[in-house]
Amino acid sequence: MLIAILINSALVASAVVIHYEMLRLLSVVIPRLKIKHRLRVLIGVFGTICAHVIEVCLFGLAFFLMIHYGDFGSLEGNFDGSLVDSIYFSFTNYTTVGYGDIEPLGALRFLAGVEALTGLSLITWSASFMFMEMTQFWNEG
């Protein structure tokens, strides 16, 4: 269980650092762009989506590796053991959609909960960032 906690901690730390660095990069680059506000907002949205996709893939890869190369549990239900299904499960977890077609068992349940909490936090961080970006330049048209 200690190894699972260390893996979970490393994943959360990695996701937060990825997100922080992407938002920092966007906060430097977007104001320097000599384009209309609407396009700057679109660049911000696509940038934050890219960060989320990278973070989801990171968690998905961890699910895949923990299933195949450790005794951390399994994903049951409509799961074929592939990396694609692991990433799909990660997307439903990270976004807290939780369709329920794949269920974690064993120590992977803890990772699933940690990923949902991390995803919720990072998605709201992105929303706050985009709100600040939009209000800062809203009147520029």
Res 133: pLDDT:
81
The whole-number pLDDT of residue 1 equals 80
pTM (2 d.p.) = 0.93
How confident is the model at residue 138, as a pLDDT? 64
pLDDT tens column, 104-133? 999 999 999 999 999 999 999 999 999 988
* pLDDT, tens digit (0-9, with 9 covering 90-100), for 45-96: 999 999 999 999 999 999 999 999 988 999 999 999 999 999 999 999 999 9
Find the Cα–Cα–Cα–Cα dihedral 113, 117, 123, 126, rounded to 10°: -140
The CATH class of 2-16+54-140 is mainly alpha
Give 132-138's long-range contacts (Cβ < 8 A, gap of 24+).
133/26, 133/27, 133/30, 133/40, 133/41, 133/44, 134/41, 137/37, 137/40, 138/37
> Does 31 or 103 have the greater pLDDT score?
103
**Residue carrying the six token digits 């990825």:** 18
Residue 77, H or E segment: strand 73-77
Query: Long-range contacts of range 114-118, CB-CB < 8 Å, 24 or more positions apart?
Result: 114/8, 114/11, 114/12, 115/11, 115/59, 115/90, 118/11, 118/12, 118/15, 118/16, 118/55, 118/59, 118/94
Contacts with 62 (C-beta within 8 Å, 6 or more apart), sequence order: 7, 11, 111
Cα–Cα dist 12/49, whole Å? 17
